[in-house]
């Protein structure tokens, strides 16, 4: 049985179809990668799943509950949490406070702070706990995005290009961290351009093109399909 079931999900903006009848099923504890060229509709898909935008048509079922059209905050509280490609820290707050905000969803203020510090340790950001979040470097902000999402204690997490903007030396530890989190039982859907990471982490792979799902399946098989190579991989693989 699937943790997340997407059926016929569609979003049109002023006549332009950004996401077109997408069907995806994500089983519990699966690491699912989504790839596709720019403009394929990946980020819009995330926005629809996370409730940031309402879909034009289709259905999203999460944990047996129909969450179609739910607001972002309700989706997040249901256990499906996203991160942003462009980092959005709460700049007036310290790193620890940023994460505490998320921890508060589940617990009292006092416990939340302790819990948040635990999360920061988990993502190796604890030494910056007291720093102002605005002054973190990119790699730190990426981890902060991740930490905030984790502090929500989600069933499933939607990661939007969590490796983008990192120098190669910073990528390996992040990949390792994601692998560990997955190993702990987290279901992950992630959009990524760095193919090495996609291939290293994904258990299943979805290829999007022009708002549609081009194909999906086991990564090694998917990327071998000629249409995929034609549509996307020709560019930089």
Partner 1 sequence: MTDTTARPAAAHELPAADDPRLKDTWARRQLLVLVAGVAVLSTLPLFLGEQAQSVAIRTLIFAIMAVGWNLMSGFGGMFSFGHAAFFGIGAYTGAYLLVDHGISPWISMVVAAVLSAAVGVAIAYLCLRYKLAGSYFALATFAFAQMFLLIVQNVDALHKTEGFNVEILPSDSWSMLQFQQGDPLYFWIPLAILAAAVLVSILYVRSRAGQYAQAVRDDEVAASSLGINTMRARLIAVALSCGVTAVAGVYYTQYYFFVGPEQAFGSAVSVEAIVPAVIGGIGTIWGPVIGAMVVGPLSELVATVLRNPPGFLSFLQGTSGLDVAVYATLLIVIVIVMPKGIFGTIRDRWRS
Contact status: 221 vs partner 1 (CB under 8 A) = no
Rounded (5°) CA angle 29-112-82: 40
What is the chain's length? 237
Contact status: 209 vs partner 1 (CB under 8 A) = no
Q: Find the radius of gyration of the CA atoms of the chain.
A: 17
Distance of CA 79 to CAs 8, 23, 88, 110, 235, Å?
22, 21, 20, 22, 36
- For helices 109-122 and 138-151, give the axis angle rounded to 10 degrees: 130
As given in the structure block, the two tokens for residue 111 are 């416990």
Q: Which of 25, 61, 78, 139 binds partner 1 (CB under 8 A)?
A: 78
Q: Which of 10, 12, 21, 52 binds partner 1 (CB under 8 A)?
A: 52
Beta carbon nearer to partner 1, 148 or 209: 148
133 to 172: interface string for partner 1, x by CB under 8 A: ---------------xxx-xxxx-x---------------
169 to 208: interface string for partner 1, x by CB under 8 A: ------------x--xxx----------------------
Beta carbon nearer to partner 1, 157 or 163: 157
């Amino acid at each position: 049985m699937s943790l997340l079931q997407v059926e016929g999900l569609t979003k049109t903006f002023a006549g332009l179809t950004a996401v077109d009848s997408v069907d995806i099923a994500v089983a519990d504890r699966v690491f699912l990668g989504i790839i596709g060229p720019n403009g394929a509709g990946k980020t819009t898909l995330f926005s629809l799943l996370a409730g940031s935008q309402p879909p034009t048509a289709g259905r999203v079922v999460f944990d047996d509950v129909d969450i179609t059209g739910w607001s972002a905050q309700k989706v997040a509280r249901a256990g499906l949490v996203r991160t942003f490609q462009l980092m959005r820290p709460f700049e007036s707050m310290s790193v620890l406070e940023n994460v505490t905000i998320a921890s508060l969803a589940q617990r009292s203020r006092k416990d939340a702070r302790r819990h948040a510090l635990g999360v920061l340790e988990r993502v190796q950001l604890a030494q910056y706990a007291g720093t102002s979040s605005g002054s973190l470097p990119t790699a730190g902000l990426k981890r902060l995005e991740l930490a905030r999402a984790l502090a929500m204690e989600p069933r499933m997490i939607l990661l939007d290009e969590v490796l983008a903007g990192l120098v190669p030396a910073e990528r390996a530890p992040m990949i390792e961290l994601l692998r560990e989190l997955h190993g702990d039982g987290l279901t992950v859907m992630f959009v990524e351009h760095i193919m090495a990471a996609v291939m290293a982490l994904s258990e299943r792979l979805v290829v999007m093109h022009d708002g549609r799902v081009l194909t999906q399946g086991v990564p090694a098989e998917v990327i071998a399909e000629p249409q995929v190579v034609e549509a996307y991989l020709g560019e930089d693989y």
